[in-house]
Amino acid sequence: MIEIKRMPRNSLNSSVEINRHDRVAVTSRSFSRNRVLREELLQRYEHVTFNDAGLKLEGDGLVTFLRGHDKAITALERLDETVFAQLPELMVIGKYGVGLDMIDISAMRRLGRRLGWTGGVNRRSVSELVIASAIALLRHVPIANAEVRAGAWRQHVGNHLSGKTVGIIGCGNIGRDLVQLLRPFACPILVNDIRHDKAFYLEHNIEAIGLEELLQRADVVTLHVPLDDSTRDMLTAERIALMRPSAILINAARGGLVDEAALKSALLEKRLAAAYFDVFANEPPEDTELLNLPNFLVTPHIGGSAVEAILAMGRAAIDGLDINEVP
């Protein structure tokens, strides 16, 4: 992975001078709809183009929207060398959200463009959602809810989260926050990460192990890694097959980490108890058979969609417009 210099909030280089006349484009629909973020951005810049039409911007449409602007706040839009090459005036990207897989960092570096990004600002929003989904699946809430709505009244016997072994794949900002939230549940925690933070693991009684062993031992497996060449399709059919039939899988990280066809087969054949996905390789997902499985819980990429997280991500993106370093 390419290391990016993060810019903590309120730590702007003192030599940076904000040019209120810079033209700023905001591609993000949720940022554009947020009254507080709009006002805070307009306090800094006079010329701002918001995505008020709620467009899904990609390809030529994205280039057209960004053309004529010096800076931009982007979210899930794909920014590659083709896009940057057509926008020589666009010099700074303030990243709204924590994932960088949609941005060609190498291209930015070659072309001298600047990236303002702060990691981990939505960690509590995502980690709380993971806890909620784990409890919901362990207690069969989605199935019970559907049955009651259909006129049935059948009690389901589920399991506690307390005491269950939780396997965290990727122990960065969100993974670490999840560790903190799991403390009252007294869950044994397994971690698989490319980094080894011995002090943190010792402090929280975490066992760092290989990916295959984690999949074999965990009752709850939750993904918290970025999407790059090293993680794409990391949960193959063979690795999913290592999981316990009673286990649940949670992906609130990035689409493309899991073989979704293999996941569907495992759920259909009861080789995996249940799964929750907030993200997919293609969004919105089109596999209706997977989406309608009774043991599959799905949400439309809402991991960072808490009021508090939206404000934190938005303010970090605004600060990111004033970065003066190439990534």
Would you name the residues annotated as active-site residues? 254, 283, 301
Nearest to residue 262, comparing CAs of 235, 282, 242?
A: 235
How many other C-beta atoms lie within 10 A of the C-beta of residue 57? 22
CA separation for the pair 208, 214 (Å, rounded): 9
φ, ψ dihedrals at 31, nearest 5°: -65, -45
Tell me the three state secondary structure of residue 248.
strand
Tokens encoding 62: 């994205």
CA separation for the pair 289, 266 (Å, rounded): 13
Strand partners, 298: 277
Residue type, 277: F
How many other C-beta atoms lie within 10 A of the C-beta of residue 157? 6
Sequence-separated (6 or more) residues with CB below 8 Å from residue 258? 223, 233, 234, 235, 240, 249, 251, 277
Sequence-separated (6 or more) residues with CB below 8 Å from residue 168? 175, 178, 179, 189, 190, 191, 192, 222, 224
Tokens encoding 289: 């058979």
Nearest to residue 70, comparing CAs of 29, 20, 30?
A: 20
Sequence-separated (6 or more) residues with CB below 8 Å from residue 138? 158, 159, 160, 161, 164, 220, 248
Cβ proximity of 318 and 41 under 8 Å: yes
